[in-house]
């Protein structure tokens, strides 16, 4: 996880249009990052994960349920956020490539 943070996982998240709710955009991103690091291939597999234990790792009460993550990812990938997401990905990729050229 430190390597993901060092490579900009949480950079520029304030640019996204994200509804106020119990879970912040950072919580969603951390949950997805933990899914990837744990080799969880799809959101539906979160039903088999103890939400309180993973929540403790993230510093929250519990991780979002699979339906909540699907809803938030849908918000992050449509309408105005679609361009913001594309730019965020381009920025992270460019930053990573520049650092590797040195």
Name the 3-class secondary structure at 40: coil
CB 30 within 8 A of CB 54: no
E-strand stretches of 1-102: none
Q: Would you state the structure tokens that stand for residue 60, as one six-digit string?
A: 């929250």
Residue 43 makes CB contacts below 8 A (sequence gap 6+) with 35, 66, 69, 70, 73
- pLDDT recorded at residue 32: 87
pLDDT in tens, 65-99: 999 899 888 888 888 888 888 888 888 788 777 76
Instruction: Specify the pTM.
Output: 0.74
pLDDT in tens, 13-56: 787 877 778 888 888 888 988 898 899 999 999 888 889 998 99
């Amino acid at each position: 996880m430190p390597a993901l943070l060092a490579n900009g996982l949480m950079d520029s998240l304030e640019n996204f249009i994200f509804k106020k709710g119990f879970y912040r955009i950072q919580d969603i991103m951390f949950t997805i990052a933990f899914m990837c690091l744990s080799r969880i291939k799809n959101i539906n597999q979160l039903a088999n994960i103890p939400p309180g234990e993973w929540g403790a790792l993230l510093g929250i009460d519990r991780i979002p349920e699979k339906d909540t993550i699907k809803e938030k990812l849908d918000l992050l990938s449509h309408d105005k956020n679609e361009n913001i997401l594309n730019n965020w990905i381009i920025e992270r990729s460019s930053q990573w490539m520049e650092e590797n050229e040195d």
